[in-house]
Structure 1
Amino acid sequence: MTQSARRATTRAALLAATIDSLLAQGVAGTSTRGVAERAGVSQGALQHHFPNKAQLVEAALSASLVTSLEQLLAPPYDASSAPARAAELLDRLWHFHRLPLFGAVFEMLALAQQDPVTAERTAGTLDALLARIEDAAAAVLPDDPTRRTRIRLAVAAVRGAAAVETIPGAGGSDWDLIRRGLIDVLIGEAR
């Protein structure tokens, strides 16, 4: 195995171990030492790839979320009507934002409010995800000058509703009502 292949294998093991730790313990409970142990590598090897916990967590979340989003947004969509395609896009976005990993995402959003480096990295990840959502939506929704704004509005609403869903005792977000309104927004009937 070449050195490049070993590096790629180590990096992949570290990212997978980080995701496992985030799912089991959240951001606060994840440590670089624990991730190194899960991955079967030394602490030095981990630090060679990721100098600190924030970079490790951000890289793992970004890679995992991008992969999950691309899988969820991949065609085909129901081609029967614009409302059906919009509903399917929203359902996929709702499912994505309710993945178990989003607990860690919400923790990172809270950390980003206090740490400029985390904020910059988190913003980059969110921008990359939004760009992929916009690309997928462009193939599904009617083309007009307001489509990007409508997509961003829908994504913000889905993110907010998904965040409320994670709060015990908050009563839920009434996703069905939000979804019906967002279908109209996405197909351009609610301006």
Structure 2
Amino acid sequence: MSATLELLVEVGWSGATTRLIAQRAGMSQGALQHHFPDRAGLAVAALHRLAAELAAQIASRPRPTGGERERLAAGLDLLWEIHNTPPLIAYLELATASRTDPGLAPHVAGLTVSVTDLVLDLAAGLAPERAASGELRGFVLTALATMRGTVLLDPLHADAARADWATMRAVLLAGLPAPQAGPAGGREEEPAARAAPGS
């Protein structure tokens, strides 16, 4: 599984053949196919395992403190950090390839649902009132789309045109509706325009 992820990052889906994966893993191609009859199943199994490890790592981190926007800003920082690691780059490689690979598409679709649910659970812990009202889902999906698109396309830009994370985070947070203040809204009082840390 580690060899598969390494090769997805290095040579992409088209280059990560079962022969090359077996060589990198130090086993015969027949032994590899005994455990994983097809390459798509192997790649997605590796990413599912990493998703479980990621969930455990997130759960072990101290919960961000401060007001709601500070907590959500910290959550965005964590997601951005994760999106710039090899496992997430391997996932994005598979997601791109699945658009034209009908054998890969259902595997990646299931993985995407699992990852999105993980992120929604994380966000709900940071802003439970918004999660209960249904406001948080759109924010999370927009943040994920922004990060995924940036990680895919940023390497194509000149250094001067690359995305600035502090600016991206501020724009995402600005899209949140202002929290309702007071007992009637049931939310903590916070200035709507409070800046994200580091922005």
TM bin, normalised by shorter chain, reads: 0.7 to 0.9
User: Distance in 1 between the 2:5 and 2:94 partners?
Assistant: 13
Does residue 181 of structure 1 match 2:151? no
Correspondence for 2:103: 117
Correspondence for 2:53: 67
The percentage of counterpart residues that share the same residue type is: 32
Correspondence for 2:182: none
Q: Which has the higher helix share?
A: 1
The C-alpha deviation readout for 1:127-149, integer Å capped at 9, x for no partner, is: 10000001111111142321222
Does residue 91 of structure 1 match 2:77? yes
Correspondence for 2:153: 164
Correspondence for 1:6: none
Structure of higher CA gyration radius: 2
Q: Is the 8 A contact 1:94 1:162 kept in 2?
A: no
The offset of 1:60, in angstroms, is 1.7
Q: 1:46 to 1:132 in 2, by over 3 A?
A: same
Q: Which runs of 5+ in 2 are unaligned?
A: 180-191, 193-199
Q: Determine helix, strand or coil for the equivalent of 1:152.
A: helix
The C-alpha deviation readout for 1:92-138, integer Å capped at 9, x for no partner, is: 11111111334433322222111222111111111100000011111
Correspondence for 1:135: 121
Q: Is the 8 A contact 1:72 1:96 kept in 2?
A: no
Does residue 152 of structure 1 match 2:141? yes
User: Distance in 2 between the 1:125 and 1:135 partners?
Assistant: 15
Q: 1:112 to 1:180 in 2, by over 3 A?
A: same
Cα RMSD of the aligned pairs, angstroms, is: 2.5
The offset of 1:73, in angstroms, is 6.0
User: Distance in 2 between the 1:21 and 1:103 partners?
Assistant: 11
User: Distance in 1 between the 2:99 and 2:148 partners?
Assistant: 17
The offset of 1:47, in angstroms, is 0.9
Letter of the aligned partner of 1:138 in structure 2?
A
Q: Is the 8 A contact 2:9 2:93 kept in 1?
A: no
TM-score normalized with structure 1 length: 0.78
User: Distance in 2 between the 1:169 and 1:102 partners?
Assistant: 22
